[in-house]
Structure 1
Amino acid sequence: MLVTDSIIFLQLYALLLMKPARSRRPLEYPYTWEQFAHGEWACRHIQCRLDEWLPKFFGYHLLKLGGLSCELASGHCNIQHQICIDKINPLRTLEANGYELPFVDKAFDVCVLANQLDYTDDPHRLLREIDRVMIDDGYVIITGVNPCSVMGVGRVLPWRKGHLPWSGRMFTPLRVKDWLGVLNYEVVELSCFGLLPTTKDRMSGIWLETSFSGLLPAIGSLYFIVARKRTYPLKPIKPAWKLRKGFSPVGVNYRTRSETDAA
């Protein structure tokens, strides 16, 4: 009963935090995991999930958008040509604005967006721009901090509001899933993990993950979304024309009575 009440409380808390996606206040954009509180812990967890998915992808071009994405290892991916975009991170291969990517339409097979939606002033615009450069049936990987978690609730503490990751917007994974649905993306996986950030004692963190595995889908500190772009061709429906049956003369029995009697 206590567990159910806790989940309901966190869901109500998420509804109270639901604000317009577009923000007018300036947001501090992180370009390295070292800026994050428990950044090493978050990077390690995301890397484990990424290692499971990257070998499944095939194609020609992979995009890692943002400094946090640049620091995630992707050398074991089958896609050899990889582009890292950021403005500050030294691992970048190209410096560009995320709202105006310098690529033609449908250029990339996979895009990795690690914890960046929380720190952009217009996430809808960013997702539309990513959708523009994605090929049909391409994959998008999005990660972020779950506001309905123990880590996310910490943003209400006044001494944490000015520090990363609590200074971000923290959208719920279900809300991000709705945004992707509007863009015709099929969510292949949505998982939450990381109950409590434990950087010193990893064994205790594994024990917590195992003990509260049933709660992780709702209150995991980090979420991991894999979505596939679905483009359905518009096939015109031809009208089923029905031709009227042609008139045919009615058969007339023209045999005379005499002929009938003779027979």
Structure 2
Amino acid sequence: MSSLDENAWLATSLGQYFLQREQAYYDQVVADIFGFNALQLGLLEHDLLRTSRIPFCFRAGMGRRVAVRADAPQLPVASQTLDLILLPHVLEFSAHPHQILREAERVLMPEGQLIVSGFNPFSLWGLRKMMSYNEAGYPWNGRFISLLRLKDWLALLGFEVIGGRMCCYEPPFQQEKLLRKFRFMEAAGDRWWALAGGVYFIHARKRVHGMRMIMPPWNEARAARKGLAPVAQKTLQRTKPDLRSRFESK
């Protein structure tokens, strides 16, 4: 997929409708994630980390507005160095989606977070893709990955899904007039057909089994003081009879 096809589609009425909802989700979620380093792969012309409080946020890929030129299946990033990774519509346009997820798992810190967005094959958007199999343009030329399959891949890599949602319930019409006509479907989608959104988001956390939380040292000191207190009292009680017997003997 060329970035030219992607940018041309994003400039259409349907692309703008999609982009507004995509940006709104990322703006809301990344604002509450903390850490030191965050990476965005995909949709490189748009800053999906703009509301993040993480000090160092950067984009990597083969586009123009990137800090690092890199291929997603082979990231030039040291292991366990990132706190957050965004993968907006990267997996369905790659020949190696499993390898991309493995790389994300490798470079994420323990308890690091991953947010993936993709096109839902079981939606009106997926139906449009099936009907336009001869169409080579973005996004219909991608390999849409089902939500259940993606969850299975994440579970095998040790990720725990902690959130997510769907959006883009309106039919994928190119005309602005038709999109406005079916705008009621966006508001009713989460309530009436929650799994039929054209786009899904998965928010996951990297779990590392066998980790032991290290408590602050002042807790250990406090516990030690509490443990010594009864011993001191018992010692004092044992010495009192000895003192009394000495005075009585005098």
Is TM (by shorter chain) over 0.5?
Answer: yes
2:121 is equivalent to residue 185 of structure 1: no
| Structure 1 unaligned spans of 5+ | 1-27, 236-263
3-state SS in 1 of match to 2:69? coil
Contact 2:40–2:48 (Cα < 8 Å) also in 1: no
2:51 is equivalent to residue 76 of structure 1: yes
Structure 1 or 2: more helix by fraction: 2
How far off is 1:213 after superposition?
3.2
Structure 2 CA distance for partners of 1:102 and 1:212, relative to 1, 3 Å: closer
Contact 1:193–1:222 (Cα < 8 Å) also in 2: yes
| Structure 2 unaligned spans of 5+ | 213-250
1:153 is aligned, of 124, 127, 131, to: 127
Task: Note the 1:59-74 alignment, pairs <5 A.
Answer: 59-66=35-42, 68-74=43-49
Q: Give me the whole-angstrom Cα distance separating, in 2, the residues matched to 1:63 and 1:39.
A: 23
How far off is 1:232 after superposition?
1.4
2:197 is equivalent to residue 220 of structure 1: yes
For residue 210 of structure 2, what is the aligned residue in structure 1?
233
Q: Give me the whole-angstrom Cα distance separating, in 2, the residues matched to 1:155 and 1:121.
A: 18
Q: Give me the whole-angstrom Cα distance separating, in 2, the residues matched to 1:186 and 1:194.
A: 25
How far off is 1:29 after superposition?
4.8
How far off is 1:212 after superposition?
3.8
Q: Give me the whole-angstrom Cα distance separating, in 1, the residues matched to 2:211 and 2:30.
A: 31
Q: Give me the whole-angstrom Cα distance separating, in 1, the residues matched to 2:145 and 2:97.
A: 10
Task: Note the 1:13-52 alignment, pairs <5 A.
Answer: 28-30=1-3, 32-36=6-10, 38-52=14-28
TM-score of the aligned structures, taking structure 1 as reference length: 0.71
How far off is 1:216 after superposition?
3.6
3-state SS in 2 of match to 1:104? coil
2:74 is aligned, of 96, 100, 103, to: 100
For residue 6 of structure 1, what is the aligned residue in structure 2?
none
For residue 233 of structure 2, what is the aligned residue in structure 1?
none
How far off is 1:73 after superposition?
3.5
Q: Give me the whole-angstrom Cα distance separating, in 1, the residues matched to 2:126 and 2:195.
A: 12
* Partner deviation per Cα, 1:141-184 (whole Å, 9 max, x = no partner): 10011011101111122465312111110001111111101111
How far off is 1:33 after superposition?
4.0
For residue 124 of structure 1, what is the aligned residue in structure 2?
98
2:32 is equivalent to residue 56 of structure 1: yes
3-state SS in 2 of match to 1:156? helix
Q: Whose Rg is larger?
A: 1
| Aligned-partner residue type, residue 53 of structure 1 | V
3-state SS in 1 of match to 2:109? strand
Contact 2:80–2:110 (Cα < 8 Å) also in 1: yes
Aligned residues: 206
3-state SS in 2 of match to 1:217? coil
2:115 is aligned, of 133, 138, 141, to: 141
3-state SS in 1 of match to 2:116? strand
CA root-mean-square deviation: 2.2
2:184 is equivalent to residue 207 of structure 1: yes
Structure 2 CA distance for partners of 1:99 and 1:212, relative to 1, 3 Å: closer
How far off is 1:65 after superposition?
1.1
